[in-house]
Amino acid sequence: MELSGRDFDRIPPRNLRVQVKEFARLWLTAERRADGLEAEGRPEDFYLTGVRSTCQWLAGVIITVDGPSGRAHAWSPSPITGVQTKAYEELIAEETRAAERAAVGSVPGEPDFVDGVLATLLWAWRRSGVPPIEVDRAHVS
């Protein structure tokens, strides 16, 4: 996914409990790493995919979907429950609880999609712990 300064300017600050700039760095790092894996022909990192999809949802990314009536625009779906609506405070809190419930079945030592989602929500929404991935000191304007 290609990100620009306009994408970062549109991140709703009310969806985060960390600074928008910190969140933007995390999101940019996750997108660059995923692009790098794809360019190298390496398999998808499901933990990283969880981080990316959570960032896209929290940021309010609009995606293009193919439907029965052709192409349409929609909000990125919430990562655990799949709700395709704009993220807002109450929904983010519920998604965090859903991620916590889903993580109960995760295999210890094998981080997966759910673990990436939960780590991102705990950091960005509850401001608990550290960023879910090591963040590049990328310039975000």
* pLDDT at res. 108: 80
* pLDDT at res. 109: 80
C-beta atoms surrounding 76 within 10 Å = 20
Distance between CA atoms of residues 103 and 37, nearest Å: 25
Sorted by where each begins, the domain ranges of the chain are 5-124
* pLDDT at res. 107: 80
Distance between CA atoms of residues 141 and 138, nearest Å: 10
Integer angstrom CA distances of residue 26 from 58, 67, 68:
12, 31, 35
Q: What is the mean pLDDT of the segment spanning 53-60? A: 96
Radius of gyration of the chain (CA): 15
pLDDT beyond 70 at 3:
no
Residue 110 Cα to chain centre, angstroms: 19
pLDDT beyond 90 at 68:
no
pLDDT beyond 60 at 4:
no
Question: pLDDT (tens digit, 9 = 90+) per residue, 102-113?
Answer: 999 788 888 899
